[in-house]
Amino acid sequence: MARRTVYLDYAATTPVDPEVRAAMLPFLEQESGLFGNASSVHRFGQDVRRALDRARDAVAAAIGGHSSEVYFTSGGTEADNTALLGVLLAGRERGRDHLVTTQAEHHAVLDCAHFAEKALGFAVTYIPVGPDGGVSPGAVAGAVVPGRTALVSVMHANNEIGTVHPIAEIARAVKGRDEGVALHTDAVQTLGQMPLSAEALGADLMTLSAHKIYGPKGAGALYVRKGVRFTPWLHGGMQEREKRAGTENVPALVGFGRAVELLPSWRDAEAARIADLQARFLDAVRERLPDATLNGPAPGPRRLPNNVNLAFPGVEGETLLLSLDLHGVAVSSGSACASGSIDPSHVLIALGLPLPLARSAVRFSLGRGSTADDLDHVAGVLADCVRAARV
Ligand code: PLP
């Protein structure tokens, strides 16, 4: 009998929805006549341009924005870099050279912030997070230096521990301190979990990515509210209204547009289903491994429904990940293997977890293919793997 495999790494990436795939295929082939370059003036180019426009309209509609406020990118990483560098570079021209962000952002924000600081001479304040990854709007606003801060960047939900941040309150607090500060939020992990409105969140810039919502990898968008200034940093073409040079990845962006169009047909029901599975899985694990601890907030509105991040005292998370993989279970750990040693996740360290506990953590992220039966099975396999790792 074939070995049972269970994929529980949907926060890393999702498979492509068959309808998305079908929408993309014509844009790869000669026969359809839809393989053109969207910048070409001839009919091949213009047909493709229309498809890109439709995808842009879909993305804008999904977050309550206008199509002219959506810039396509190669994914969430590029959108985050564009938000930070673009607003900082534009800010410097009017004396604003300061960025406020948190210690628990995705590396796409954090490493870019380090680059802005070390290589480009910007000032950056990294706000600490609380024991469950939360940040207080007052602390964020308190770090703003009126007249000097150009941008505040706080993710909508954390990819490792699922903490959902009160972006609307943060926006109000920040603007209350200085209206001239732009607010960026990385919503890569929330787009597929809950309805999003840039206006309701008070976000001036928002990062989105296709491959977490059953779209293709290598496609994303940065929403930039009209009137927010950002300086392009990728040069060499007039694409994206002269803000992002480079031939558009048309098949992937068309797929992104289709994935976004499909969201209303499944997102809410799926989020409710996954939340039930999240609770069931947590119960099943705790029953077998009472000393396992949940990193991040308790299940509920402050936590993504698809995220279960657990620490297993006395176990190396990376070892656990490998032994789960041998048993057909795909999960992820926040650790990064750098030069032979395993660095614990910066997010878990920011929570104040002791090093060994941070190193013991594993993230299980649920998605469309997850079933109750799979999760019961994984809880059993996990308990065996943890016990084996402890002897
Ligand atoms: N931001 C967050 C919160 C993410 O989870 C990810 C991907 O894991 C990214 C940014 C990067 O997105 P992409 O993989 O599309 O570059």
Please give the average per-residue pLDDT across 111-138, as a whole number. 98
Q: Give the integer Cα–Cα distance in Å for 295 and 80.
A: 25
Ligand 1 center to 186 CA (angstroms) = 8
Q: Give the integer Cα–Cα distance in Å for 310 and 378.
A: 13
From the candidates 272, 337, 355, 388, give the one annotated as an active-site residue: 337
- Return the percentage of the chain with pLDDT > 90, whole number: 96
Q: Give the integer Cα–Cα distance in Å for 348 and 350.
A: 5
Per the annotation, the verdict on 385 as an active-site residue is no
- Could you tell which of 155, 159, 164, 249 is best to mutate to test the pocket of ligand 1, judged by most ligand atoms within 8 Å of the CB? 159
Please give the average per-residue pLDDT across 201-210, as a whole number. 98
pLDDT value at residue 375: 98
Terminal Cα distance for the chain, rounded: 30
Token representation of residue 175: 């603007």
Please give the average per-residue pLDDT across 279-296, as a whole number. 98
- Positive or negative: CA dihedral 194, 198, 203, 205: positive
CATH among 3.30.565.10, 3.40.50.300, 3.40.640.10, 1.10.357.10 for 18-261: 3.40.640.10
CATH among 3.40.50.720, 2.40.30.10, 3.30.1300.10, 3.90.1150.10 for 267-390: 3.90.1150.10
Sequence spans of domains, the chain = 18-261, 267-390
pLDDT digits (tens, 9 = 90+) for 34-87: 999 999 999 999 999 999 999 999 999 999 999 999 999 999 999 999 999 999
Contacts of 269 (CB under 8 A, 6+ apart): none
**Other beta carbons within 10 Å of 18:** 9
Largest CA distance in the chain: 68
- Residue 119 near residue 110 (C-beta atoms within 8 A): no
pLDDT value at residue 3: 79
Phi-psi region of 300 (alpha: psi -120 to 50; beta: other; left: phi over 0): left
- Residue 172 near residue 154 (C-beta atoms within 8 A): no
Please give the average per-residue pLDDT across 280-299, as a whole number. 98
DSSP 3-state of 341? strand
pLDDT value at residue 340: 57
- Could you tell which of 74, 80, 102, 106 is best to mutate to test the pocket of ligand 1, judged by most ligand atoms within 8 Å of the CB? 106
pLDDT digits (tens, 9 = 90+) for 307-340: 999 999 999 999 999 999 999 999 998 766 555 5
Side-chain-side CA neighbours of residue 178 (13 Å): 20
- Mean pLDDT of all residues in the chain? 96
pLDDT digits (tens, 9 = 90+) for 82-106: 999 999 999 999 999 999 999 999 9
**Ligand 1 environment, Cβ below 6 A:** 75-77, 80, 106, 108, 155, 159, 186, 188-189, 209, 211, 220
pLDDT value at residue 118: 98
Q: Give the integer Cα–Cα distance in Å for 271 and 236.
A: 41
Q: What is the model's pTM? A: 0.97
Task: Encode 61-79: b = buried (16+ Cβ within 10 Å), e = exposed.
Answer: ebbebeeebbbbbbbbbbb
Q: Give the integer Cα–Cα distance in Å for 267 and 91.
A: 37
> Which atom of ligand 1 lies at the shortest distance from residue 80's CA?
10
pLDDT value at residue 1: 56
pLDDT value at residue 102: 98
- Residue 342 pLDDT greater than 90, yes or no: no
Ligand 1 center to 109 CA (angstroms) = 10
> Which atom of ligand 1 lies at the shortest distance from residue 219's CA?
15
Please give the average per-residue pLDDT across 269-292, as a whole number. 98
State which amino acid sits at residue 375. Answer: L
- Residue 49 near residue 41 (C-beta atoms within 8 A): no
DSSP 3-state of 360? coil
Look up residue 306 and give its DSSP letter: T
Phi-psi region of 177 (alpha: psi -120 to 50; beta: other; left: phi over 0): alpha
- Residue 343 pLDDT greater than 90, yes or no: no
Nearest CA to ligand 1 atom 10: 76
Q: Give the integer Cα–Cα distance in Å for 193 and 332.
A: 19
